[in-house]
Amino acid sequence: MIKDSWFTVQNIDDETYAISEYGHWEKVHSFLLIGERKAVLIDTGLGIDSIRRVTDKLTSLPIEVITTHVHVDHIGGHREFDKIYVHEGDKDWLINGIQGLSIEQIRNDIKRDITIPTPLTFNPNTYQPFQGVPSGLLKDQDTVDLGNRKLIIYHTPGHSPGHLSIYDTTNGYLFTGDLLYDKTPIYAFYPSTSPVDLIDSLERIANIKNVNLIFGSHNTLGLNPAILEEVKHAVQFLKEKQLVTFGTGIHKFKGFSIQF
């Protein structure tokens, strides 16, 4: 096990790691998937500390970054890697910044409710979220071959226009970004979100076959795939009650909740 002053590294299996930032209120997870020829890092965290310091200890293979979506807590370490991929729907945000989100708000959010010491290099008053041109674009049903494991890309908009989920066909792992996680509400109440798209995306991932474990980007690691049956129930309920619209509040279900 790797001990680190900021990141918590947890083995999912011998070739898959969660790299978590539990000292921050977001409790965000990034995921390193190691193959025979290359590795994929799903998101790069908050950027408070160097995630590359951790990934270099875990693999010597070239690393490509797949961005689940362009929010600050998922792209913080992007500048440390050469190959960055994103969906077309979030490309503009990656290049020009998230529309409607001020740097003052970003800095206020990045510095609040931190429970462990941050590195001396971190200054919230000068923090700048990553902006840059991606190496390439991913689209729905693209496959990423790591040599001994294959990933399938699902375009799952709602939380952001270009949100992606990633299915590891070799292990049955489904990485859901901010589309599905437990404990805190799944957010679709910002002007940049779409409640209708979010529900359609949840319905879609609920029908993926042979899922063994679900890894959202926040809170509990490794949700039981039985939660996908509750997702189907939630989708049906919200549609029937005509609740899939801004302003209807928090809707609680078994194992997760959604806020519109």
CATH number of residue 173's parent domain: 3.60.15.10
pLDDT band for position 117 (cuts 50, 70, 90): very high
Question: What whole-number distance in Å separates Cα of residue 63 and Cα of residue 197?
Answer: 31
pLDDT in tens, 232-243: 999 999 999 999
Give percent of the chain with pLDDT exceeding 90.
96
Residue 62 falls inside a structural domain = yes
Check whether 70 has a pLDDT greater than 80. Answer: yes
Residue 175 placed within a domain: yes
Question: In this predicted structure, what is the pLDDT of residue 103?
Answer: 93
Could you tell me if residue 234 is inside a domain? no
Cα 226 to Cα 207: distance, rounded to the nearest angstrom:
12
pLDDT, position 211: 98
C-alpha separations of 226 from 4, 23, 152, 153, 192 in Å? 33, 29, 21, 22, 30
Domain count for the chain? 1
**Sign of the alpha-carbon dihedral angle for 97, 201, 236, 180:** negative
Per-residue model confidence (pLDDT) at position 8: 97
- This prediction's pTM: 0.96
Residue 212, pLDDT above cutoff 90? yes
Query: Could you give the C-alpha distances from 11 to 18, 41, 154, 222, in angstroms and in order?
Result: 7, 14, 24, 11
pLDDT at 191: 86
Write out pLDDT tens, residues 122-155.
Answer: 999 999 999 999 999 999 999 999 999 999 999 9
The confidence score (pLDDT) of residue 155 equals 98
Say if 166 falls within a structural domain: yes
pLDDT in tens, 92-101: 999 999 888 8
Q: Check pLDDT > 80 for residue 1.
A: no
Indicate the SS3 state at residue 191. coil
What is the chain's mean pLDDT, rounded?
Answer: 96
Can you tell me whether residue 205 is helix, strand or coil? helix
- Does residue 167 register a pLDDT over 80? yes
H/E run at residue 167: strand 164-168
Query: pLDDT tens digits, residue range 11-41?
Result: 999 999 999 999 999 999 999 999 999 999 9
Rounded mean pLDDT of 204-222? 97
CA distance 137 to 129: 20
Residue with tokens 């700048």: 128
pLDDT of residue 38: 97
Separation of first and last alpha carbons in the chain: 39
Residue 171's domain comprises 8-183+210-224
So what's the pLDDT on residue 2? 87
Q: In the predicted model, what is the mean pLDDT of residues 217-236?
A: 96
